[in-house]
Structure 1
Amino acid sequence: MASSRAQLVEAARRSIRRGSKSFASASRLFDRTTRERVWLLYAWCRACDDIADDQDHGHAARPGAVGSGMAPENRLATIRTLTELAIAGEDTGSPAFDALGLLMREVPLTRAMVEDVLAGFALDADEWRPRSEADMLRYCYHVAGAVGVMMAVVMGVSSEDDDTLDRACDLGIAFQLGNIVRDVWEDDAQGRCYLPVEWLVEADIPPGEITKPHYRHALVPMVAHACALAREYEASARVGAARLAFRQRWAVLSAANIYGGIAREVERLGAHAWDHRVHTGKLDKLRMVIAAYGEAKRDPQPAPHPALSRRELNAMASKNRPRMDGRMDH
């Protein structure tokens, strides 16, 4: 029997509280309807991420969980099948995927927006690695920027307001750049590296040796460059946030302060950034939310779009992006 809206919202609320305390805290600043829709979107994104990584909210997957034990390409196929069913309005048997179906009935999200997010999981399933800075930014676009676009639509931004959607995408890219620099050690332990190969070659760091102690100081300048990129994307996003209703603006700027603080702390720590996993404490989060309240009442500093934003990065990917029906866009 299909779950009711209240049941799906409650399941999504539990998911976000378990999966992201920072995001859960920021979401409380939204009005009730927006907050519930943000939870629904998070639940789908979290479920896709967990299936792709064979995890449960970032931890080891429970026995019998959806996608558990499958090969990466089969996990991706599972994500695509459940998402397709949800878009079609079918009961998937998964509250997180049913949450997407409900959300698409309430908000004018498009299939193309969903496909842009799924393309990020396809890159990971293919064990794809960025060769250039543009490659890294394209990855950030798919796994986080595209989610920012969907989030903006959930908050009421028109799907035709390209400039604001571009800036919403920029915030997601900024967040992902912060994740990349923070998680260098964790990613390496899983055989992954999201810093561009060209950067590593220039720094004379051999493949697979990025976390060796004698290369740590060589890693610092490239991480600083990634942090500078994150600041550029965040500044652009703050301009777009000013166009939102006040409570939405406050929530978005709170998230920007909290997640942007990750990259800033990694940069500040330099070679010691990976001694322990960088995180933001409760008191610091509270300060950042209070600061965001004042920022939401002021006009942001003018900021241009980064050279590579949503439309440019989408164009780079469009020639070889698989569609949900398995064919290729050309």
Structure 2
Amino acid sequence: MDLTDLPPILGRSYVPPANAGGRGELVAHARDSIARGSKSFAMASKLFDRQTRERAWLLYAWCRKCDDIADGQDHGGTLQGVTDGQARLSTIRVLTDMALRGEPTGDPAFDGFGVVMRECAIPERYAHDLIEGFALDARDWRPRSEADMLLYCYHVAGTVGCMMAVLMGVDPGDRATLDRACDLGLAFQLANIARDISEDEAADRCYLPQEWLAEMDIPPGEHMKPWARPRLAILARRMADMAAAYEDSARHGTGALPSRAAWAVLAAAGIYGDIAREVARRGEQAWDH
């Protein structure tokens, strides 16, 4: 598909420039993206050696850009209601496939992604699995069970853990270490879900399993009502406990990583673990600010 056939997203069409930037320009763009989009990951990435740090930035910039396209955001921030979710998903798929083939996309986040995927020989299936998470959101999916919620967490975060592990030198066939990397992604996403319950509700989204809400006798769409806050706090603590268990499991995989990479992973685990722990500590007031 020619890029000019894509629908305008975020106010413009993706048209490749006459001269695509080199790797240095792509890394600089990715560095700026992470500085704007994730202070916690930017902090943890400083512990990597230079090559691994730059590659982590390139991968992050693609993840951030896909997320922004899907949700109508600019480096995160408040979720925007979108009415053209399938068109946005198509844009993500087309640009990602072009990047994987080594074709210039005109977007440094996608071009940089193609570079790091080739440099590290990261299996493409993880990129496709991540995009399936955006596909779930595009069709207003809701998790029915805890297993559904965890599958979503795999798609949007566990995949990133696996890609990061390969980026850091883990053999793509080392299933045990990749499972632990996936666990860390699950822990991160569970923390995010617990933190963002109010923001997600404002965007007409809910990642709490319907079975959990039914267990607490909370009707659909009522979980942010004042009367439901004590029951919601119970579910948030449950999610924080799950995140802690996956975080602990992930720590057992760091022995397979180079020392500096292991430090960075442990730092990120601590930072995101603190998010879940803070949600649990605040209880009913967790979403007031």
Kindly indicate whether residue 116 of structure 2 is the aligned counterpart of residue 103 of structure 1: yes
Matched AA of 2:94:
T
1:36 corresponds in structure 2 to 54
CA distance in 1 between partners of 2:122 and 2:258 (Å): 19
CA distance in 1 between partners of 2:226 and 2:83 (Å): 35
Selected match of 1:210 from 204, 223, 237 = 223
Task: Write out aligned runs for 1:276-315 (5 A).
Answer: 276=289
CA distance in 2 between partners of 1:231 and 1:176 (Å): 12
Task: Write out aligned runs for 1:164-175 (5 A).
Answer: 164-175=177-188
CA distance in 2 between partners of 1:60 and 1:190 (Å): 9
1:118 corresponds in structure 2 to 131
* Number of equivalent positions: 270
2:30 corresponds in structure 1 to 12
What displacement does 1:70 show? 6.5
Kindly indicate whether residue 165 of structure 2 is the aligned counterpart of residue 147 of structure 1: no
In structure 1, list runs of 5 or more residues that go unmatched: 62-67, 277-330
Please state whether the residue corresponding to 1:242 is helix, strand or coil: helix
Asked whether the equivalents of residues 54 and 60 of structure 1 are also in contact (C-alpha less than 8 Å), the reply is no
CA distance in 2 between partners of 1:194 and 1:181 (Å): 9
Kindly indicate whether residue 67 of structure 2 is the aligned counterpart of residue 54 of structure 1: no
Selected match of 1:223 from 228, 236, 261 = 236
2:3 corresponds in structure 1 to none
CA distance in 2 between partners of 1:146 and 1:87 (Å): 16
What displacement does 1:69 show? 7.1
1:84 corresponds in structure 2 to 97
1:131 corresponds in structure 2 to 144
Listed one character per residue, the Cα deviations across residues 231-257 of structure 1 (whole Å, up to 9, x for unaligned) are 111111000012211111111000000
Please state whether the residue corresponding to 1:145 is helix, strand or coil: helix
CA distance in 2 between partners of 1:219 and 1:99 (Å): 40
What displacement does 1:202 show? 1.1
CA distance in 2 between partners of 1:105 and 1:184 (Å): 37
Under a length normalisation based on structure 2, what TM-score does the superposition of the two structures give? 0.91
Selected match of 1:262 from 275, 278, 284 = 275
Listed one character per residue, the Cα deviations across residues 188-233 of structure 1 (whole Å, up to 9, x for unaligned) are 0000110000010111111111100001001122211111111111
CA distance in 1 between partners of 2:87 and 2:159 (Å): 23
CA distance in 1 between partners of 2:77 and 2:149 (Å): 25
In structure 2, list runs of 5 or more residues that go unmatched: 1-18
What displacement does 1:268 show? 1.3
CA distance in 2 between partners of 1:26 and 1:218 (Å): 34
Moved over 6 A (4+): none
Selected match of 1:178 from 170, 180, 191 = 191
Matched AA of 1:103:
V
Please state whether the residue corresponding to 2:253 is helix, strand or coil: helix
Please state whether the residue corresponding to 1:115 is helix, strand or coil: helix
Please state whether the residue corresponding to 1:55 is helix, strand or coil: coil
Sort the Cα spacing of 1:70 and 1:213 in 2 relative to 1 into closer, same or farther, 3 A.
closer
Asked whether the equivalents of residues 71 and 82 of structure 2 are also in contact (C-alpha less than 8 Å), the reply is no
Selected match of 1:246 from 256, 259, 263 = 259
Sort the Cα spacing of 1:55 and 1:81 in 2 relative to 1 into closer, same or farther, 3 A.
same
Matched AA of 1:203:
M
CA distance in 2 between partners of 1:5 and 1:145 (Å): 27
Segment drifting more, 45-54 vs 263-272:
263-272
